[in-house]
Amino acid sequence: MFLDTPGIHRADTALNKRLMDAVRPRWRNATCCWLLADARAPIGKDDRQALDLARKCHAPVVLVLNKIDW
């Protein structure tokens, strides 16, 4: 089964904190984790946060690069 969680983001509001609280336990129990990243964008603070979370995943992690053709 594929479960799409809320995107990883800064938890600076009550709603964002609740969304991130939904993400963390699912990463720990996943059988495979996918990280979707924009291939054209430079690596930023949010990407580093996602990578830190992926390191805690006990399953294989797949990096999926996305791009837009102009």
Q: pLDDT tens digits for 10-63?
A: 677 888 788 777 777 777 777 888 888 888 889 888 888 888 878 888 889 898
Tokens of 66: 């996305």
Q: What is the pTM of this model?
A: 0.60
**∠ CA 40-65-35, rounded to 5°:** 120
Give 69: exposed, middle or buried? Use CB within 10 Å, 0-12, 13-18, 19+: exposed
Per-residue pLDDT at 60: 92
Measured from the Cβ of residue 3, the count of other Cβ atoms closer than 10 Å reads: 7
